[in-house]
Structure 1
Amino acid sequence: MRDLHIVLAARSEKVFLEHYAEGRDEEWGRPIGQIAFDAGTLHDLRSVTKSIVSLLYADLAADPAREKITIGHALTMTLGMEWDENRPYSDPQNSEIAMENAPDRYRFILERPIIADPGSRWIYSGGSVALVGAIIERGCGKSLPDFAREALFAPLGIERFHWSAGGDGVASVASGLRLAAPDLLKIGQLLLRKGLWNGERIASEGWINASLTATISTPDGLGYGRLWFTGDAPAPAFAAPKSWYGGFGNGGQRLWLMPEADIAAVIYAGKYNAQDAWVTPTRVWREIILANFLNA
């Protein structure tokens, strides 16, 4: 399939599908040419970054409408603030790009007009996750990449990663993380194990359960928890519906999880900014990965 870079899937921690291709790629919007992808290649996660961040956990506050906003609303993208990421990410009017270009990214986010009661409406928002990242940094006293290295990556044996930053030097919490496919697969397997890794507790089981529990519906009918999408595998794949969970990123980046079947799958692709970028990873998940499981 054109623009498909990497597919890596494991069941019960044993890889059963592995595919590496060659194709043109980008690093956070900057073309980096033709790449021969392999297990060591760092790849943009784009908005799968948001789902990884979910594992790490002034005057505007005087506005009564904004006083109702909580961290929970930021984690579930239900701030109720105007935000537009439907525009291409090459458009400076795209809200995430405008945030990155703003003199003060946090003021830019918090100044957005309130258009719905907090908690009542899902609006896809990189700004929501930027606020979560700021709270994490202020709480731990470290940059987000440094905290992620200490709290998540090092315990999983992830040594190589890159986190792109804006002009202000702040790491992009919404889309800037680059990981090799086997390392993203480790994060998926950590979630399947409810936060345990080699017998050690890396993340709270309660937090993971809450993160993967849908609290609101998206406009396209999926559920959304704490920075994770949720849904059911369609018939006739299974006799009874089986739930899946996913981190989705621009261009076709995916981390898919199906706990009931103990499957974690990584898909990297290069169809950045395309409206139909979801088609190929969804076909691979449904028609190749799940079909492989059924035939196993």
Structure 2
Amino acid sequence: MNPPRRFVLAGLGVGAAMATGRAAAAAQTRHAPGWGDLPTAPPEKVGVDSGAILDLLAALEASPHEPHSIMIARDGHTVAGGWWAPYRADVPQLLYSLSKSVTGTAVGIAIDEGRLHLDDRVIDFFPEQRPATVDANLAALRLRHLLTMTVGHGADSTPIITREQDWARAFLAQPIVHAPGSVFLYDSGASYMLSATVQKVVGKPLDAYLRPRLFDPLGIADARWATCPMGINTGGWGLKLTTGALSRFGQLYLDQGRYGGRQIVSRSWVAEATRAQVRQPLTGAPPGVDPSALPATSDWHQGYGYQFWRCRHDAFRGDGAFGQYCIVLPDKRTVVALTSCTLDMQGLLNLVWQNLLPGLREAPLTSDPAAPARLRDKLAGLTLPVPKGASRSPEAARIGGRRFVLEPNAMGAVAVTLHFDDASCAFELEIAGRRSSVRAGLDGWREGFTDLPGTPPEFTELIGALNRMPGPIRVAAAAAWSSNQVLDMQWRYNETPHFDVVTCTIGGDHIRIAFSNSITKLAAAHREIRPVLTGRMAT
């Protein structure tokens, strides 16, 4: 699926010695704590120009895309890794559709174990959910059609099925207007059905099935996956993994299914999953662009495998909404894991191709001696900007701890209180007899958790109603006074690509609170549903 349809809308230590070959480079590497099983290496030792990585970082920060993390591995060694604060190496990230590549891997493992076959009929796994009348197209639907997004639906089933209790029943009830296998149409509901199928045959959810088969061998301790109302992992989205876990997943595929001396998934599966099983229709060209030219410029028109996209430069990838990437370049022996917030996913990929590819060489490099140190310092200092303004205002002492009673509103919020200390501000909202809060740093990011209703923002236009994972939401927040009467806060939900901007305006004994979420800022079709709150200080 092309980008417009999708959205509508710690640096590394560097040794002083220079090796003369890959074997010498491997001998002089070390493991970085918390980065899984991939050893680290100075970029030049494995033929990567530190300057190219610096160019990529500079291009990312100068672009309209908002980078959150990046890891680059070459020849099985991590050569660069960085997180833009408040994003962190140890915090799993919501992957959106990059989850599909993990779901496809589960299917491959189940096929390797003899539990599934590519030509299994889908309806045979769901006798209780199959419709009363099974037409020829539904009867012809096979597992391979789910994997290649060639179900034959006329539209993505996801926003329809996710509004039902039984998603599998709803999926099987959708009309199949094209013969299965004949037309590519990106459909996250198909990936959900893969997850449901695996659960049917193995008797446990996808994440539990993968724990000893994929997650543990790759050193992935913290893998969290959303579920449907019936307890089935969503499959096509909803998985959270760290950037390091993504890098190791890519390395698994670069090494043809092997990791840590163990064959996790068969070489034959990797080969089939990552080649072009189907071609996308030549649609989505910008105005004035000949659709026949798309394969030369678009990474969404290179073919689709089994839950993997083909790319230009003979690469393949898993990707997810808002710029979550696991890119594998077999010819370059390189893996790039990248998380971000953008709608222009092609533009983000272009920056990787333009800046990194020229720096991937065949042999170790002798570089500017200062370049590795500049890269190390750059990676160690990555951060997203905090709100601009002052850390103090005379109003803080006057209104701090005072309760503002709110006018009736659609949120059901009845009161708000702002609490200040020397370094932070807590925003406390009362709804239905319960108090929820977010604490923001006045001198930088302050990390914590919140159970505030309406957080984090959700992209329901794409995947329908979400089923939240239990527990409070991780948030990192910062605040500043843009004037003596206006307090600007940014709440970053740093397990997701998303954030809220909250503006509190004080006028005498009155307060006005306006919410704006990052999805709305990127895609106007996703409107902010939280009302502006107004209230008066209680006497």
2:162 counterpart SS class: helix
CA shift for structure 1 position 97: 3.4
Tell me the TM-score normalised to structure 1 length: 0.83
* Partner in structure 2 of residue 288 of structure 1: 355
Q: Following superposition of structure 1 onto structure 2, how do residues 27-42 of structure 1 map, counting pairs within 5 Å?
A: 36-42=86-92
Task: Give the aligned residue type for 1:224.
Answer: Y
Counterpart of 2:154 in structure 1 is: 82
For residue 132 of structure 1, what is the amino acid of its counterpart?
Answer: L
Alignment partner of 1:43 is 2:105: no
What is the distance in 2 between the residues matched to 1:228 and 1:290? 21
Shift of 1:166: 3.3
Q: Give the equivalent residue in structure 1 for 2:105.
A: 55
The equivalent of 2:398 in structure 1 is: none
1:294 positional shift: 4.4
Aligned residue for 2:29?
none
Take 1:131 and 1:65, find their aligned partners in 2: how far apart are those partners? 16
Residues 1:270 and 2:341 are matched in the alignment: yes
Confirm whether residue 192 of structure 1 aligns to residue 192 of structure 2. no
Confirm or deny that 1:257 pairs with 2:319. Answer: no
The one of 144, 154, 167 equivalent to 1:72 is: 144
Q: Does 1:8 align with 2:75?
A: no
Mean alpha-carbon deviation: is it higher for 213-222 or for 146-155? 213-222
Quickly say closer, same or farther: Cα 1:283–1:16, change in 2 above 3 A. Answer: farther
**Matches of residues 1-296 of structure 1 in structure 2 within 5 Å?**
1=61, 2-22=65-85, 36-57=86-107, 58=127, 59-60=130-131, 62-84=134-156, 95-219=157-281, 220-233=300-313, 243-271=314-342, 274=343, 276-280=344-348, 282-294=349-361
Shift of 1:106: 0.7
User: Shift of residue 150 of structure 1?
Assistant: 1.9
Q: Which amino acid aligns with 1:269?
A: S
Instruction: Give the greater-gyration-radius structure (CA).
Output: 2
Aligned residue identity for 2:149: M
Query: Secondary structure of the residue that 1:216 maps to in structure 2?
Result: coil
Compare 68-77 and 108-117 and name the one that shifted more: 108-117
Identity %: 25
- Structure number with the bigger relative contact order (C-alpha 8 A, sep ≥ 6) is 1
Partner Cα separation in structure 1 for residue 230 and residue 139 of structure 2: 27
User: Which SS does the other structure have where 1:72 is aligned?
Assistant: helix
Q: 2:166–2:229: 8 Å Cα contact kept in structure 1?
A: no
- Deviation for aligned residue 1:148: 1.5
The count of corresponding residues between Structure 1 and Structure 2 is 260
The CA distance in 1 between the partners of 2:181 and 2:146, in whole Å, is 9
Residues 49 and 176 in structure 1, CA contact (< 8 A), matched pair in contact too: yes
Q: Contact 1:82/1:112 (CA < 8 Å) preserved in 2?
A: no
Q: CA contact under 8 A between 1:252 and 1:277: conserved in structure 2?
A: yes
* Residues 252-261 or 62-71, more deviating: 62-71
Separation of aligned partners in 2, 1:179 and 1:70: 29
Residue pair 1:100, 1:167 contacting (<8 A) in 2 also: no
* Structure 1 alignment gaps of length 5 or more: 23-35, 85-94, 234-242
Give the AA of the match of 2:321: N
Tell which deviates more after alignment, 197-206 or 167-176: 167-176
SS for the counterpart of 1:4 is strand
Show CA shifts across 1:146-201 (max 9, x none).
01112110111111121122344332111110000111111110111111112211
Q: Give the CA deviation at 1:114.
A: 1.5
Q: Are the counterparts in 1 of residues 199 and 232 from structure 2 also a CA contact under 8 Å?
A: no
Say if 2:328 and 2:336, in contact at 8 Å, map to a contact too. yes
Q: 1:133 to 1:249 in 2, by over 3 A?
A: same
Further displaced range: 177-186 or 55-64: 55-64
Q: Which amino acid aligns with 2:201?
A: G
- One-letter amino acid of the structure 1 residue matched with residue 179 of structure 2: D
1:290 Cα deviation after fit: 1.6
Q: Secondary structure at the match of 2:105?
A: coil
The residue identity in structure 2 corresponding to 1:127 is G
Q: Do the aligned residues in 1 keep the contact of 2:137 with 2:178 (CA within 8 Å)?
A: no
In the alignment, is the contact (CA less than 8 A) between 2:67 and 2:341 conserved in 1?
yes
SS in 2 for 1:169: coil
Letter in 2 for 1:253: Q
Q: Deviations over 1:82-122 (max 9, x none)?
A: 323xxxxxxxxxx4233222121012111122221111110
Task: With the length of structure 2 as denominator, give the TM-score of the two structures.
Answer: 0.46
Deviates more, 1:8-17 or 1:119-128: 8-17
Q: Secondary structure at the match of 2:310?
A: strand
Structure 2 counterpart of 1:284, one-letter code: L
Take 1:218 and 1:16, find their aligned partners in 2: how far apart are those partners?
A: 34
**Counterpart residue identity of residue 211, structure 1:** A
Distance 1:287 1:42 in 2: 28
Q: Any stretches of 5+ residues in structure 2 without a counterpart?
A: 1-60, 108-126, 282-299, 366-539
Structure 1 CA distance for aligned equivalents of residues 358 and 164 of structure 2: 46
1:8-36 Cα deviation digits (max 9, x unpaired): 111101222323113xxxxxxxxxxxxx1
Contact 2:69–2:87, Cα closer than 8 Å, also in 1: yes
Helix, strand or coil at the partner of 1:166: coil
Distance 1:102 1:159 in 2: 32
